[in-house]
Structure 1
Amino acid sequence: MSIRRAGERYRGGDASAGIESLHSFSFGRFYDPDNLRFGAVIACNEERLAPGAGFDEHPHSHTEIVTWVVDGELTHRDSAGHATVVRPGDVQRLSSAGGVRHVERNDAGTPLTFVQMWLAPKEPGGEPSYEIVRGIADSTPYALPEAGAMLHVRRLAGDERTAVPDAPFVYVHVVRGVVRIDGEALGPGDAARITDADGLELTAAAPAEVLMWELSG
């Protein structure tokens, strides 16, 4: 198990445009050949957008993009005709496949924070697709077969325990609160990269929200 702390993330964004970005993997001009991916996960970005700020239309291809809103509302529009507002508790997935363009903005009057995770698909190409699951229930896994992955969203009370999936790779990102895995404490923005997970548990030291990716080999 490798622990990556929130403060170790690469800082990006554009402060003058109201955008702050925190990158857990190599991203854009921040290149680290030893931190390109973990399993299928190739990016885990925490984005903070001031009211009115956002990312103008830009392209994606051959990437599975999953977004989790922490606070605020995210406005999404894409070239396939989808226009949605993503709120806390919703899981949004954009399969960019052979190519798609989209816009992401904070059109609300309050700050927006969201976590966006990119995964490499098993096969490139195909037709883009989009899905949003409103208010996903706790412990309900979200399957991403295109990347051989499963997302587990856990909202835990203090001292509550949950199993870490037994899998070749597990990526754990703490959204809020404090949790412990195998004696290691993780706070907001911290992540654990676990190889060959077997019989591990995650315990909340206080109320917590955690995203866990179960990844095939």
Structure 2
Amino acid sequence: MLQVWRADDRYRGGEADAGIDTRHAFSFSGFYDPDNVNFGLLVACNEERLAPGAGFEEHPHRDVEIVTWVAEGELEHRDSAGHTSLVRAGDVQRLSAGSGVRHVERNAGEGPLRFVQMWLVPGAFGTEPEYEVVHGIADNTPFALPRTEAVLHVRRLAEGERTAVPDAQWVYAHVVRGRVVLDGHELAGGDAARVTEAAELEAAALGGPAELLLWEMHAEPSYG
């Protein structure tokens, strides 16, 4: 089954006065929908737009896997474990909060910053925090998320180019830019598709180049 979620249906959050525009795909912070709390292991998919100098002050996380894909600009990361980095377009950042970590994120560039931040539930809790950045991840290079049964696939497609969608119990597709056709459904930037029991599906760029994130997931959250 494939269900389309449009960009305009996302919950609008953030702090406009602080230069932060957030668009949530799932229940998050002050917005709660009991029928939209997760899909597979994914519990958040936030599109973030930060003005130059804007950002999130130090705040804590625990027992969550946070994966960030920068679409435009430069993201500065600092955390309580001593990690500091600049994450740029085409980089994948992973923060495994484990037993607990605090971090700061801000727009370190002179232009706008746009990124997609995705949270997943790990398979084990209370583990040691971890952090890494994969710089310039290549297309068709699966990024297997440690401590989970989830894999991120990045697809940057030329006009008309087609790509296979992973076969999995749960597949989440997010269009970063451009337009994509997935199983007969047209998706534009910010749109997403949630597919259960995905098998032998393809996606194709429509009317120009497109960028697509695909989560392949083989489990749901277990808190026992």
Task: Report TM bin, short chain.
Answer: over 0.9
Q: Report the Cα distance in structure 2 between the residues aligned to 1:138 and 1:200, rounded to whole angstroms.
A: 18
Partner of 1:192: 193
Amino acid at match of 2:211: E
The answer on 1:77 being equivalent to 2:72 is no
Partner of 1:51: 52
Extract unaligned runs of 5+ from structure 2: 220-224
Partner of 1:15: 16
* Structure 1 residue 49: Cα displacement: 0.5
- Once structures 1 and 2 are overlaid, which stretch shifts more, 149-158 or 104-113? 104-113
Partner of 2:211: 209
Partner of 2:162: 161
* Structure 1 residue 146: Cα displacement: 1.1
Please show how residues 130-169 of structure 1 align to structure 2 within 5 Å: 130-169=131-170
* Structure 1 residue 108: Cα displacement: 1.6
* Structure 1 residue 109: Cα displacement: 1.1
Q: Report the Cα distance in structure 2 between the residues aligned to 1:147 and 1:36, rounded to whole angstroms.
A: 18
Q: Report the Cα distance in structure 1 between the residues aligned to 2:142 and 2:151, rounded to whole angstroms.
A: 6
Q: Report the Cα distance in structure 2 between the residues aligned to 1:174 and 1:137, rounded to whole angstroms.
A: 17
Extract unaligned runs of 5+ from structure 1: none
RMSD across aligned C-alpha pairs, in angstroms? 0.6
Taking structure 1 as the reference length, what is the TM-score of the superposition?
0.99
Q: Report the Cα distance in structure 2 between the residues aligned to 1:55 and 1:145, rounded to whole angstroms.
A: 25
* Structure 1 residue 24: Cα displacement: 0.3
* Structure 1 residue 147: Cα displacement: 1.8
Structure 1 stretches of 4+ with a deviation exceeding 4 A read none
Q: Report the Cα distance in structure 1 between the residues aligned to 2:15 and 2:168, rounded to whole angstroms.
A: 37
Query: Deviations for 1:108-138, whole angstroms, at most 9, x for unmatched residues?
Result: 2111111000000011111000010000011
Q: Report the Cα distance in structure 2 between the residues aligned to 1:95 and 1:14, rounded to whole angstroms.
A: 26
Amino acid at match of 1:130: Y
* Structure 1 residue 145: Cα displacement: 3.3
Amino acid at match of 1:178: R
Q: Report the Cα distance in structure 1 between the residues aligned to 2:173 and 2:6, rounded to whole angstroms.
A: 12
Q: Report the Cα distance in structure 2 between the residues aligned to 1:125 and 1:158, rounded to whole angstroms.
A: 45
